[in-house]
Amino acid sequence: MPNTVSQLIEMYRNDPQSSFRKLSHGVRVKHERLLTRIMREHGERSLKGIRARDLFAWHDGWLGKGKIAAAHSLISRLRVVIRFGATVLEDKECRRLAERLGEMRFERPVPRRRTLSSEQVRLIRVKAREWFGWPSIALAQAFQFDLRLNQKAVIGEWVPADEAEPSDVTRKTDDREEKWVRGLRWSDLDEAFVLRHISGKRGLELQFDLKNAAMVMEELAIYAQTSIEELTRAHLPSKGPIITNDITALPFSTAEFRRKWRKVANQAGIPAQVMNMDSGKPSQFDPRQFRRVSA
């Protein structure tokens, strides 16, 4: 059984029954950073010696000068790790701490309520294509806005080659081989312009009739160098990622897409407080236009 916070976190990372092993690569990397910080700052603390007063003090230290989101993320990871110790390891000290944490309340970040308007999206699309020569950004923005898809669902992500998910899109970086997973593929699009996409590790199938997605159809017609009225499935590729870097022809890394999107947004006059993550929340979205179906 673990004696210290560091020992508990190491068991959480490596136990076959741990939820950590079931996370997607991107989420696992994010959580790994949080766990490393907890270990660095409090890893040597004995589980037996931790009291509620200590947990409040840890949270206050993470909170600093208004870092509510960061403090919330760290205390949430600590809850998960201690709950793992209480349930999977059946450790009595973890059960005690899980009970204490269950009774404690911490400040939560305020949910984001900003959204991109259709006019702002139009400006981003135009600037991406005509100012920067990045039609991929314009097309990705249209998918995000029209279909309420988040960035990862549209552009996918690069993960280590030894991750379980299959992919035929690969690359070599300086230190490892990677493969691209989860993004939109041309093979997801049928002859009737119905897009079928398996989302996330839980395998939720999303179905969208793109004929109801005006911005997407406009961008696809521009991509195919034809009019919307004359656009057919044959004008578009049959396979491969839909969104690719205009320079490398490979899918974007998350960091590169965000960097380029922000440059376009700045040029379009979008306030700095409005982010790409706000693309998937259009207020005028009509759910009757699309179907989401469990796989």
Digit-coded pLDDT (tens) for 216-263: 999 999 999 999 999 999 999 999 999 999 999 999 999 999 999 999
Place of tokens 């395998």: 203
Q: How far apart are CA 68 and CA 71, in angstroms?
A: 5
Domain boundary among 61, 77, 103: 103
Classify residue 44: in a domain, yes or no.
Answer: yes
Residues 70 and 177 in one domain: no
- Asked if residue 109 has pLDDT above 90, the reply is no
Burial class (CB in 10 A: 0-12, 13-18, 19+), 227: exposed
Domain boundary among 77, 103, 129: 103
Residues 61 and 159 in one domain: no
pLDDT at 280: 62
Residues 95 and 165 in one domain: no
Residues 59 and 159 in one domain: no
Note whether 206 and 197 are within 8 A (CB).
yes
User: pLDDT by residue (tens digit) across 50-80?
Assistant: 999 999 999 999 998 789 999 999 999 999 9
Q: How far apart are CA 267 and CA 128, in angstroms?
A: 9
Classify residue 113: in a domain, yes or no.
Answer: no
E strand or H helix that includes residue 40: helix 25-42
Amino acid letter, 153? A
User: pLDDT by residue (tens digit) across 125-157?
Assistant: 999 999 999 999 999 999 999 999 999 999 999
Residues 135 and 228 in one domain: yes
Q: How far apart are CA 286 and CA 283, in angstroms?
A: 9
- Asked if residue 185 has pLDDT above 50, the reply is yes
Residues 129 and 62 in one domain: no
Domain that holds residue 233: 118-294
pTM over 0.85: no
Domain boundary among 103, 126, 160: 103
- Residue 147 is part of a domain; what is its CATH number? 1.10.443
